[in-house]
Structure 1
Amino acid sequence: MGRQTRSNDWGFPRWRAYGSERVAQQVRPCDREGCDEPGDRPAPKSPNRPDRWYFCERHAAEYNKGWDYFAGLSKEEAEARAAGEQRDAGAYGQAKFYGWGGEGDGTRSRDEMRALDVLGVEVDASFDEIKAAYRRLAKANHPDVAPDDADAATRFQAITSAYEVLSKAEERRAAS
């Protein structure tokens, strides 16, 4: 028999593992002078150009430590770029609670949902309704109103902490 003319990669099953070619893999070295580690982490050469440096992990961290995204831009250009970045990334901020797939319309976190359950209000309740429910429950469960009830203090603490969670969430929504 003569020399084999077909490779072992034809047909089924493959007789050789994937990625076991005989040709040496090309590995791009780190672009830092004197470094011989693989350069597998791209870093931009300038803000408005597609050119990239390729560094190893250590040199990429060193390069990015002093990186200023807004370097060379005027104040108006920097503000416009920041507003564009905020606009483009805003959808991620709005969707941060959708991953849990809980009740409601996806605008409340898991902690807020628990707090709403403690106060006994609906998921879509306004903050005025939440405040009214808090005041009603706080008056009914305050330790001074029911001094002989041992569970009243525990219920009052739960109601107060639930209201704190919801009021902080309302402040965050009002600020953004």
Structure 2
Amino acid sequence: MARVRRSNDWGFPRWRAYGSSREATNVRLCDRHNCDEPGDCPAPKAPNSPERWYFCQKHAAEYNSKWDYFAGLEKEEAEQRAQSESSENAGYAETAFYGWSGSGDGSRTQDELRALDLLGLDPDADFESVKKAWRNRAKEVHPDVRPGDEEAAKRFQAYQLAYDVLRQAEERRVWHG
């Protein structure tokens, strides 16, 4: 006859340690073919559909990288939605400068990223490399170097605007950070 072993919790399950339950837990696997990771990130199968895919974090990021929020909208409506969302989130964006953030940690705005791209720099570039890139590009298309060249003048203005955006952002970071 097998001896029944008593537990030390005197029949009170709340006294047991966390994770000591013996029943199996159901883990939903990632819906991506041949992936054995837990699928804990729901993603819609189609816009406005209640059906969901369940991906692991890696495959959810891959799925969302192709997601276009403005797909199927007219150009004017997409611009209007982008404008309203940026105005609604403006307070949150302003508070980013009060944190412990620095260059390249996701604290750059969309305008800053466009300016860095125009100057041919990486998103995590520091301000010294911004100054250097701006000087080099501005020297190539400066109106004194290329008088009468309309295309060069437009490019010079674009470089100047990009530099101003990045300079103001750097000043805000230094001032608030």
Question: So what's the TM-score if we normalise by structure 2?
Answer: 0.45
RCO comparison, higher one (Cα < 8 Å, 6+): 2
TM-score, normalised on structure 1? 0.45
